[in-house]
Amino acid sequence: MTLCELVLRAIRGAREPRPAVGPLASEDHARLLGVTRREYTLGAEVLAECLVALGCKFQPDAGEIACGP
């Protein structure tokens, strides 16, 4: 089952072996990567890098992020 299929089935109320999770983007997650609140909120490139890094680390279901080259 793909990530998108899992999310769609969960939205439709189907029973799944695990809950579907989504990406969580916040200043707290930036801190996990050693980025300051100011850098995260004012730097679009920094924010994007954080989102990709966190997506690769936590692999959320609701939104696929390419990890690696």
The residue count for the chain: 69
Which residue do the tokens 């989504």 mark? Answer: 22
Average pLDDT over residues 12-17: 83
Using the predicted structure, report yes or no on whether residue 63 has a pLDDT greater than 70: no
Q: What is the pTM of this model?
A: 0.50
Check if the beta carbon of residue 6 is closer than 8 Å to that of residue 20: yes
Hey, where are the domains in the chain?
3-58
| pLDDT, tens digit (0-9, with 9 covering 90-100), for 20-58 | 666 556 777 788 788 888 888 888 888 888 888 877 777
The contacts of residue 34 (CB under 8 Å, 6+ apart) are none
Q: Give me the pLDDT at residue 7, please.
A: 74
Using the predicted structure, report yes or no on whether residue 14 has a pLDDT greater than 50: yes
